[in-house]
C-alpha cells in the first residue's frame, strides 16, 4: 500500500511507501522520482529544513536521506546552490538481480522547459535528401580520420557564407572550427584559457548552470555580471577576468538584447586587457521583430570568439556547432581540439554543408520561425492581463513575470497540471547581485505541435 504525500516546500510530490522507516521510505521515494524522470535533472530540492517541516518529520531524517542519495549519485549538493537532481541520474547496477519493474511513468504530461526546439519539426525529408546527395558526392578520403582538426572544409565554407549573410559575422573558413555543439566549443575554450593561466571568467548573472559548471570543472572561477533590461552589465569589468561569456543577441534566459553601448564596452575591455569575449549565439536565427541584431563578433573579430550551434535551429541530437576563432587564438584552440577531427562525423558535416548550400537550411529556419512566432503570439494573447511577458523579440522562450510572492504557488499548480516549467531563479548565478524576481521561463518552442494547445492551457491554468 502506498500513501501519497504531497508537499509544496518547493513543488515536490512524493509517494512514501507505508510500513518502511521514514528515512528509507523518503530515500526510496526520492530515488524513484529521479529514476522515472519525474524530478528532472537539475531540479533543486527544498532545503532539508523546509521539507522536514512539510512532512512533519525531523530535519535530520531528511538530511540523512539526501546524503544517502548524494552518495549514490542521484543528487548533487553544492554550497550555495543547494541539493539538486544529478544531471545524469541513471539506475545503478544492482548487486542482486533487480526485480522486473513496470515501465517508468512519464513524469509530466507537458513540458515548457527551455532548451530544445520542437523536435517534431526536424526536417527529416530534406535532411535525408541532403544526406543522400552528400554521400553520393563524398570523396573516399571523407571516410577516413579527418585530417584537418577544424573539420570539413565544405561545411566551413558553407557556414562562412551563411554566417556573414545572416548573422553579420566576419567569417573566414580558415578560422572556423567545427565542434560537437556549443558545450564542446566552450570546453575547448576553457582549456585554452587555463593554458593561458586565466583563473576567472565573467558570466551573466542569469544563465545555464551546466555552462558555469563546465567552466568550474576546467578550474575557472565564474564572476557574475549583473543583468537588466539592456542585457548583461558589461561596464566596469575587472582586468582579472580573462574572458567574458555572453549571449548578446538574446540574453539567456531574460531575453534582453545587449545594447550598443554595452557591446562597445565589452569590446573595449577586451582590447585593453587582452581578454577574450565568448559570444554564445544559440538562437540568433529566430528573431521576430524587424530590428535585426547582428553578431557582436563583427565589432572586433580579433577579440570575439563567435559560437553557433544547430541545437536550436535543427536539433540538439545532431551535436553540431561551430566557432569563428580570432586569428591570434586559432593555434591554441586547434592544439586543444587535437591533431585530427576526432569529435564530429564527417558525413554529418557534409550533410549540413549540402543542407545549407541547397537553401534547405534557410527554408527550414523560415518555416520554424513562423511556427514559433505563432506560438509566441498565442502565448502573449493567452496570458495578457494576468502576467507580464518579456524577452519575446527572439528565440524560443519568454519570461512571465508573476505577482510578487506567487512563484511557488504557480509552480505547484503547474505540477498539478502535469506541466514541467522552470522558475527564473533556477538560472541565477549563486553570487549574482540581481534583484529577486518571481517569474517563469517558458520554453514555448519545446512542445510538439500536437501538444501545444493543451500545454498552453495547462500553463494558463497554473497562473495565479
Residues lying near ligand PLP in the complex (CB under 6 A): 115, 181-183, 208, 247, 252, 280, 282, 309, 311, 316, 321
- Whose cell is 506560438? That residue is 375
Which contacts of 170-175 are long-range, i.e. CB under 8 A and separated by 24 or more positions? 170/297, 170/298, 170/301, 170/324, 171/306, 171/324, 172/324, 174/150, 175/324, 175/325, 175/326, 175/327, 175/330
In this complex, which beta carbon is closest to ligand PLP, that of residue 9 or of residue 181? 181
Minimal CB distance residue for ligand PLP:
181
In this complex, which beta carbon is closest to ligand PLP, that of residue 275 or of residue 308? 308
In this complex, which beta carbon is closest to ligand PLP, that of residue 16 or of residue 323? 323
- Whose cell is 530590428? That residue is 291
User: Comparing C-alpha atoms, which of 158, 159, 110 is closest to residue 309?
Assistant: 159
Shortest Cβ 189–ligand PLP spacing (Å):
13
In this complex, which beta carbon is closest to ligand PLP, that of residue 309 or of residue 462? 309
In this complex, which beta carbon is closest to ligand PLP, that of residue 115 or of residue 242? 115
What is the distance between the alpha carbons of residues 117 and 115, in angstroms, rounded to a whole number? Answer: 7
Shortest Cβ 131–ligand PLP spacing (Å):
20
Strand-pairing partners, residue 278, are: 245, 305
Shortest Cβ 162–ligand PLP spacing (Å):
16
In this complex, which beta carbon is closest to ligand PLP, that of residue 65 or of residue 188? 188
In this complex, which beta carbon is closest to ligand PLP, that of residue 16 or of residue 220? 220
Shortest Cβ 197–ligand PLP spacing (Å):
26
Shortest Cβ 402–ligand PLP spacing (Å):
22
In this complex, which beta carbon is closest to ligand PLP, that of residue 320 or of residue 387? 320
Burial class, 311, CB count within 10 angstroms (exposed 0-12 / middle 13-18 / buried 19+): buried
Shortest Cβ 297–ligand PLP spacing (Å):
15
Shortest Cβ 223–ligand PLP spacing (Å):
18
What is the distance between the alpha carbons of residues 91 and 73, in angstroms, rounded to a whole number? Answer: 9
In this complex, which beta carbon is closest to ligand PLP, that of residue 55 or of residue 202? 202
Shortest Cβ 323–ligand PLP spacing (Å):
11
Burial class, 436, CB count within 10 angstroms (exposed 0-12 / middle 13-18 / buried 19+): exposed
Shortest Cβ 127–ligand PLP spacing (Å):
17
Shortest Cβ 407–ligand PLP spacing (Å):
21
In this complex, which beta carbon is closest to ligand PLP, that of residue 309 or of residue 413? 309
Shortest Cβ 344–ligand PLP spacing (Å):
12
In this complex, which beta carbon is closest to ligand PLP, that of residue 82 or of residue 316? 316
Amino acid at each position: 500500500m502506498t500513501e501519497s504525500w504531497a508537499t509544496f516546500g518547493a513543488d515536490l510530490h512524493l509517494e512514501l511507501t507505508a510500513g518502511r522507516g521514514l528515512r528509507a521510505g523518503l530515500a526510496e521515494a526520492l530515488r524513484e522520482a529521479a529514476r522515472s524522470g519525474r524530478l528532472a535533472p537539475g531540479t533543486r530540492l527544498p532545503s532539508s529544513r523546509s521539507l522536514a517541516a512539510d512532512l512533519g518529520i525531523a530535519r535530520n531524517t531528511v538530511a540523512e536521506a539526501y546524503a544517502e542519495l548524494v552518495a549514490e549519485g542521484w543528487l548533487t549538493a553544492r554550497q550555495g546552490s543547494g541539493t539538486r537532481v544529478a544531471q545524469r541520474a541513471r539506475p545503478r547496477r544492482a548487486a542482486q538481480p533487480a526485480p522486473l519493474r513496470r515501465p517508468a511513468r512519464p513524469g509530466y504530461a507537458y513540458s515548457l522547459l527551455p532548451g530544445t526546439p520542437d523536435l517534431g519539426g526536424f526536417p527529416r525529408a530534406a535532411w535525408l535528401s541532403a544526406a543522400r546527395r552528400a554521400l553520393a558526392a563524398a570523396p573516399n578520403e571523407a571516410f577516413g580520420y579527418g585530417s584537418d582538426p577544424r573539420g570539413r572544409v565544405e561545411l566551413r565554407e558553407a557556414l562562412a557564407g551563411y554566417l556573414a549573410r545572416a548573422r553579420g559575422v566576419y567569417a573566414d573558413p580558415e578560422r572556423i572550427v567545427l565542434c560537437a555543439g556549443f558545450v564542446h566549443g566552450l570546453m575547448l575554450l576553457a582549456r585554452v584559457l587555463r593554458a593561458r593561466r586565466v583563473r576567472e571568467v565573467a558570466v551573466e548573472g542569469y544563465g545555464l548552470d551546466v555552462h558555469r559548471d563546465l567552466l568550474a570543472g576546467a578550474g575557472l572561477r565564474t564572476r557574475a555580471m549583473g543583468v537588466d533590461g539592456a542585457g548583461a552589465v558589461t561596464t566596469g569589468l575587472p582586468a582579472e577576468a580573462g574572458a567574458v561569456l555572453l549571449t548578446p543577441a538574446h540574453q539567456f534566459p531574460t531575453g534582453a538584447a545587449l545594447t550598443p553601448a554595452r557591446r562597445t564596452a565589452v569590446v573595449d575591455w577586451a582590447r585593453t586587457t587582452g581578454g577574450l569575449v565568448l559570444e554564445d549565439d544559440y538562437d540568433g536565427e529566430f528573431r521576430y521583430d524587424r530590428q535585426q541584431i547582428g553578431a557582436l563578433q563583427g565589432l572586433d573579430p580579433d577579440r570575439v570568439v563567435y559560437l553557433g550551434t544547430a541545437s536550436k535551429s535543427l536539433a540538439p541530437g545532431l551535436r553540431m556547432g561551430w566557432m569563428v576563432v580570432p586569428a591570434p587564438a586559432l593555434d591554441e584552440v586547434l592544439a586543444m581540439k587535437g591533431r585530427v577531427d576526432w569529435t564530429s562525423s564527417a558525413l554529418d558535416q557534409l550533410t549540413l554543408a549540402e543542407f545549407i548550400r541547397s537553401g534547405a537550411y534557410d527554408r527550414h529556419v523560415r518555416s520554424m520561425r513562423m511556427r514559433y512566432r505563432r506560438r509566441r503570439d498565442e502565448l502573449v494573447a493567452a496570458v495578457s492581463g494576468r502576467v507580464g511577458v518579456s524577452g519575446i523579440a527572439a528565440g524560443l522562450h519568454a519570461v512571465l513575470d508573476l505577482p510578487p510572492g506567487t512563484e511557488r504557488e504557480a509552480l505547484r499548480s503547474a505540477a498539478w497540471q502535469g506541466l514541467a516549467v522552470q522558475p527564473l531563479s533556477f538560472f541565477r548565478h549563486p553570487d549574482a547581485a540581481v534583484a529577486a524576481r518571481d517569474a517563469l521561463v517558458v520554453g514555448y518552442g519545446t512542445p510538439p505541435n500536437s501538444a501545444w494547445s493543451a500545454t498552453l492551457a495547462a500553463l494558463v491554468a497554473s497562473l495565479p
